[in-house]
Amino acid sequence: MKIFNIDENNNRHGEEDDNSSDSEFVYEPASVRKRKFMNDLVNSFRNQRKNDNNNVSDNEKGINKKEKKTKKNDVGNVYDDADSNDEKDGKFGLKNKDSNEKYGSSDIKIDMQKSLVETYNKLRMSALNEETNELEEIRKKEEKILAQVSMALNGPLQSVKERAKGITYKENIKSIWTLPKKYKNLKKTYVDKIRNIFYIDVNGTDIPPPIKNFEDMKLPKPIIKALKKKKIAKPTQIQMQGLPVILNGRDMIGIAFTGSGKTIVFVIPLIMLSLEGELRCPIVEGEGPLGLIVCPSRELATQTHNVIKHFCIYLHDYNYPMLKSLCLIGGVNVYEQSSEIQKGIHMVVATPGRLNDMLNKKKMILEQCKYLCFDEADRLIDLGFEEEVRNTLDHFSSQRQTLLFSATMPKKIQEFAKTTLVNPIIINVGRAGAANLDVIQEVEYVKEEFKLNYLLEVLQKTGPPV
């Protein structure tokens, strides 16, 4: 009976509690309860931090015990209404406590709605920004280094002495050759009309007019006869405009199609310069050269040297002094070439490799050289001879007349040449890179098995040129 009474009393008390709880209890979603729980934890952490800073270390333990009791009561009340998922959130709250104790102070604003993934992404982005800043600094340093290297490599073609002393030439070399009177007084409109008729495009300042015949160029009679011997009666477009420019002592860039007669344009002025120097002061042993032509291949150098020898022989036949020339190429005995140089030389046609070999061994000097020509200049750079070209220029001790000739001259090389030359004149004849119209091109389609036999038949039709 006592037990029954106790149960009844308990039931009554339970019913009263239920009635009171029904009147006071308001149902809240789990998310709201979680948020309240987390806010209570954060507030308690903040209060604990403040109390720890204000109180003495001896009293900290007692305060911590009281706060732990209050926490247990609060947590117990919440866990009565929370499910198993809330226990995980409680653990998450404790993790936030540790992070706040590590990083936090009262000034930090914590938004508990953000997840760990968002904070991780923020930290990752900040780390990436730091890495990008470091990479940008490294890239800027590399750009500065590359700019210095490019200035050294792509700067003007100067010798070591000129770069060391900061010497820059603003005036061209003076020449004794002058224009005939009838060409000096020509009107500009008439000169432009002639250039348009012959498709001559020029660029520069103080450009001499084109001359239509070799006699008006004041060339010696032996040279004119040597030209006629080669069946050259009238100058081509590049010869009409190029010869007066070079004879006047100007730096020049010549662009003309293959077979237009570029070789004669830079060979005749070189012969005239050597003839003038020999008549004024004859070359003795160990002196020379007065002019230098650089070619990319041995075949082209040999061909140019043969043209020079042709004119020199005609000059000597008419009681002019014999001008000495040398073809300085690889595959020939170095001792024979060096012995020819030691005897005294007027003109040298060379390839970059052998030329630099002789200069580095000091078997040849360029102190007297006043004339420098690069034939097929774009090929010299394309084939990797730029370093050899710069090394050659290091051996010059004074100003020289510089010429660049090619069938194709890209804009990059033209800009490079403009910084190299002194007030250069650019002459462009026809379409750069075009084939010669006098050359007949025939294309025939042959089956694979008949190619060799047909090739032998074609080769037997015409004999070799030599």
Q: Where are the domains of the chain?
A: 30-107, 181-437
Candidate from 137-141, 268-272, 344-348 with smallest mean pLDDT: 137-141
Which of 79-93, 157-171, 395-409: highest mean pLDDT?
395-409
Residue 304 predicted with pLDDT over 90: yes
Quick: pLDDT tens for 25-40: 566 777 777 778 778 8
SS3 call for 160:
helix
Closest CA relative to residue 375, chosen from 364, 366, 385: 385
Cα–Cα distance, 429 to 207 (Å, whole number): 15
Q: What Å distances lie between residue 231 and 224, 228, 261, 269, CA to CA?
A: 11, 5, 12, 20
Contact 425, 172 (CB under 8 A): no
Sequence-ordered list of residues with C-beta below 8 angstroms from that of 271, at least 6 positions apart, any chain: 223, 308, 311, 312, 315, 323, 347
SS3 call for 112:
coil
Closest CA relative to residue 224, chosen from 243, 249, 202, 246: 243
CATH superfamily of 181-437: P-loop containing nucleotide triphosphate hydrolases (3.40.50.300)
Tokens of 257: 């199609």
Residue 230 predicted with pLDDT over 80: yes
Contact 201, 225 (CB under 8 A): no
Cα–Cα distance, 233 to 224 (Å, whole number): 8
DSSP H stretches of helix in 166-297: 181-184, 188-197, 221-229, 237-247, 262-280
SS3 call for 80:
helix
Quick: pLDDT tens for 282-301: 999 989 899 999 999 999 99
- The larger pLDDT score, comparing residue 30 to residue 335, is at 335
Please tell me the predicted confidence (pLDDT) of residue 4. Answer: 42
Q: Provide the β-strand partners of residue 286.
A: none
Tokens of 182: 């009838």
Please tell me the predicted confidence (pLDDT) of residue 56. Answer: 46
Closest CA relative to residue 220, chosen from 321, 104, 149: 321
Mean pLDDT, to the nearest integer, of 235-246? 94
Sequence-ordered list of residues with C-beta below 8 angstroms from that of 81, at least 6 positions apart, any chain: 33
Residue 252 predicted with pLDDT over 80: yes
Which of 11-25, 213-227, 410-424: highest mean pLDDT?
213-227
Q: What percentage of the chain exceeds 90 in pLDDT?
A: 36
Cα–Cα distance, 266 to 361 (Å, whole number): 28
Quick: pLDDT tens for 355-367: 999 999 989 999 8
Residue 414 predicted with pLDDT over 70: no
Mean pLDDT, to the nearest integer, of 399-413? 81
Mean pLDDT of the chain: 77
Mean pLDDT, to the nearest integer, of 245-255? 92
Please tell me the predicted confidence (pLDDT) of residue 110. Answer: 47
Residue 80 predicted with pLDDT over 90: no
Tokens of 239: 């010869």
Please tell me the predicted confidence (pLDDT) of residue 418. Answer: 65
Please tell me the predicted confidence (pLDDT) of residue 106. Answer: 41
Mean pLDDT, to the nearest integer, of 224-241? 92
Residue 192 predicted with pLDDT over 50: yes
Please tell me the predicted confidence (pLDDT) of residue 97. Answer: 44
What residue type is assigned to position 351 of the chain? T
Quick: pLDDT tens for 112-164: 455 677 777 777 787 777 777 777 777 777 777 666 555 554 555 666 667 67
